[in-house]
Amino acid sequence: MIAPQTLLKKHFGYEKFRPQQEEIIEQVLSGADALVLMPTGGGKSLCFQIPALMLDGTAIVISPLISLMKDQVDALRSNGISAAFYNSSQNFEEQQYILDACHRGEIKLLYISPEKLLSDIEIITKACKPSLFAIDEAHCVSAWGHDFRPEYTKLGFLRDRFPQIPFMALTATADKHTRRDIIKQLKLKNPQTFLSSFDRKNLSLEVKIGIKPKEKIKEIIDFIEDRDGQSGIIYCLSRKKCEETFEALKNEGINAMFYHAGMSSEARSSVQERFINDDLQVICATIAFGMGIDKSNVRWVIHFNLPKNIEGYYQEIGRAGRDGLPSETILYYNYADLQILNKFAGEGAMAEVNLEKLKRIQQYAEADSCRRKILLNYFSENPDKDCGNCDVCKNPRQHFDGTIIVQKALSAIVRTGEKESGSMIIDVLRGSKRQEIIAEGYDKIKTHGAGAEIPALDWQRYLMQMLNLGIIEMAYDENFALKVTPFGKEILYNKRKIDLTVLQVFQASDKKEKTKKTSTFSADEELFNHLRKIRRDFAVEENVPAYVIFSDATLDEMAKQKPMTESDLLLISGVGEHKLLKYGQAFLNAIIDFSPASNKKSKSDTYLETFNLYQKNIPIPEIAKQRNLAETTIYSHIAQLYLSGKIESLKSFVNEDEIVQVKEALDIVGESKALKPIYEQLKEAIPYHKIRMALAVLEKRTH
């Protein structure tokens, strides 16, 4: 069996796994279940894609978004992996063709919506031999989650029906309650939970409070104009606000469009596709946009209004910087948003939970401490240091020793049995004599009235800080009772001190002098942009999103490292063997042509070295071995030496009949930098190196 790391490099172009990926893969290969929590862009998909390549049969990937399946499948195929999707957008013949291919063992990953799986389960499992089940966006199964989908709750029967097959549930956002619900609803068998760090260090976090609507629009327009050509998303609370924001941007000449649930599915799909393909710079959207969107080069996300909860907010900002490059997030917040959201949250069966989750995002927006710590604490992660990459860290608040205040609150929580909500704890601390307190006997405990000198509103904000710092946590499923964390117990029992932030009165953000945003990319900007154009040509030719060819991070590394040979190019993260063969030479030629004179000289030298060995009648494999280059590189050198006149003929590599066949195929597929369309048109009858030689002969004949 091929090792996972070998497959990682061959198909995905990465030298090593990210933290926990290898352990998750081993868990699945052992036949055990797993619950995987990784941040957006953290590499969840690899955790089931690699095992799918190693196991017999077809991996069934359950995904809620039909619109995303094609992009996911295109990306896999671009990496040389056989994959397909099966959904209601296809006719009967298309679906039957896919099932037949699965039956023949030709498809390693099959993407399907939960609805389609439930309706066609008999014919799917009869045609396919499932190797594993991967339930993506698994938080949709839980009513506690922020994106509940009832059809997900029906998937539990699969675990009973396929007791010997490993199941993997994956999500980027799930608190403790949602995790428990996922395991219960999907009937996972003793799953190991893999909780990766939710820390996306490349995302800067900023909150702006109390900005007036007109000023907000002007700020956003200035922000976008300072980031020439960068892709971004603006999330708005309502459809009307989406369209108003779009109009304001359009009037300033910004390439934008709106997206919301009031549009037809065709219109929404068109907007999403244009954005993914870099035809649109900015999307003004409701939260209907972007779930699972696999666009790696979103450079910024702006929330025009306060989101409904931290899970949704975290997932939405996670759509920026999936390639790991620096990206920005801004949240605008005012109390008008809060009134609207309180009304929404108070409606429906989950009103109490939704209201409490709204309070938590409000606490985040109003926080005086490191915002990244607050986000990570919400997902049960407790970093030791402030992040240095949020507005609070960059403009520090004043702090004081708050140990006594915190100990008073913690004492009240413990002495009331860790079963009371924040409002009851505050009343106890302030010495209230209301009937419920007397009935419970809380007027007799030591901490009754211990914080009477602190106003109730200030106590609320201190409790917010304690929640945000991970000192206490809130149990939504226990009437929002406050619980003391292990960290909190260390403070309560005098093992450590804790600083709190001096409470401030919220004011509108100070106006700052507008400064030109420096480029995200540290490498040669001109070369990077040229590589983007080459990538776009391939993307248009193959009708796939640009990031499917190579991510911005991969292009940025190419621009920094400037590889000159195929061996060097393979060392670039994101360049695997399949993509090297398909696109490598075009990108290498561009890099060499953009390099200084010294590098151009090295290009001549490398061709001359190949030419000298070729003249000695040394076989191509031996030349490649002596030069430590791929054979494809040597063939490319020979083609260039022929075009430059150093080699008189290529008859020993390609005959006239093969040249004619290549010419006919080229006429059908059109002018192409890629060899693969010609190779496929020829039914794989003529190998790549002969196609390359034939193209050189044809080029010389036309000049």
The label of the residue with tokens 């290529």 reads: 650
pTM of this structure: 0.64
Is a pLDDT exceeding 70 seen at residue 214? yes
Bridge partners of 330, per DSSP, are 206, 302
pLDDT tens-place string over residues 382-402:
888 899 999 999 988 888 999
Give the range among 31-45, 64-78, 98-112 with minimum mean pLDDT.
64-78
Q: Which tokens go with 650?
A: 């290529």
Q: Distances from the Cα of 255 to the Cαs of 214, 273, 282, 529, 544, in angstroms?
A: 20, 15, 6, 18, 21
Is a pLDDT exceeding 90 seen at residue 624? no
Query: Domain 4-195 sits in which CATH superfamily?
Result: P-loop containing nucleotide triphosphate hydrolases (3.40.50.300)
- 517 vs 183, residue with greater confidence: 183
Mean pLDDT for the stretch of residues 491-500: 91
User: Could you tell me how many helices (H) and strands (E) the chain has, helices first?
Assistant: 33, 17
Helical packing angle, 631-643 and 577-594, nearest 10°: 40
pLDDT of residue 595: 66
460: burial class by Cβ within 10 Å (0-12, 13-18, 19+)? middle
Coil, helix or strand at residue 459 = helix
Task: HSE, CB side, 13 Å, CA atoms: give it for residue 286.
Answer: 12
pLDDT of residue 597: 44
**618 close to 626: Cβ distance less than 8 angstroms:** yes
DSSP E strands, 165-278: 167-171, 192-195, 203-209, 231-235, 256-259
Sign of CA dihedral 347, 348, 351, 353: negative
**575 close to 584: Cβ distance less than 8 angstroms:** yes
How large is the C-alpha radius of gyration of the chain?
29
- The 10 Å Cβ neighbour count of residue 44 is 24
pLDDT, the chain, mean = 86
Each domain of the chain, given as residue ranges in start order, spans 4-195, 203-394, 399-501, 525-701
Q: Which tokens go with 583?
A: 């696109």
Is a pLDDT exceeding 70 seen at residue 89? yes
Q: Which tokens go with 275?
A: 């954005």
In this prediction, residue 630 has a pLDDT band, given cuts at 50, 70 and 90, of low
Task: HSE, CB side, 13 Å, CA atoms: give it for residue 535.
Answer: 24
In this prediction, residue 289 has a pLDDT band, given cuts at 50, 70 and 90, of low
Q: Cα separation of 638 and 264, whole Å?
A: 54
Q: Which tokens go with 3?
A: 């090792």
DSSP conformation class of 253? T
H helix or E strand, kind and range, residue 251 = helix 239-251
In this prediction, residue 505 has a pLDDT band, given cuts at 50, 70 and 90, of low
Task: HSE, CB side, 13 Å, CA atoms: give it for residue 39.
Answer: 25
pLDDT of residue 581: 84
**292 close to 63: Cβ distance less than 8 angstroms:** yes
- 626 vs 83, residue with greater confidence: 83
Is a pLDDT exceeding 90 seen at residue 170? yes
Give the range among 99-108, 125-134, 510-519 with minimum mean pLDDT.
510-519
Mean pLDDT for the stretch of residues 92-120: 92
Assigned CATH for 525-701? 1.10.150.80
Most confident of 292-296, 424-428, 575-579, 668-672: 424-428
The label of the residue with tokens 């927006």 reads: 365
pLDDT of residue 604: 63
Q: Cα separation of 63 and 137, whole Å?
A: 7
Whether domain 203-394 has CATH 3.30.310.50: the reply is no
Q: Any residues with CB less than 8 A from the CB of 29 and at least 6 apart, and which?
A: 51, 54, 55
Q: Tell me how long the chain is.
A: 703
In this prediction, residue 507 has a pLDDT band, given cuts at 50, 70 and 90, of very low
**Do 4-195 and 399-501 fold alike per CATH?**
no
Q: Cα separation of 510 and 673, whole Å?
A: 52
**231 close to 282: Cβ distance less than 8 angstroms:** yes
Q: Cα separation of 57 and 126, whole Å?
A: 12
pLDDT of residue 602: 55
pLDDT tens-place string over residues 241-271:
999 999 999 999 999 999 988 888 888 888 8
Q: What is the end-to-end Cα distance of the chain in Å, rounded?
A: 50
Assigned CATH for 399-501? 1.10.10.10
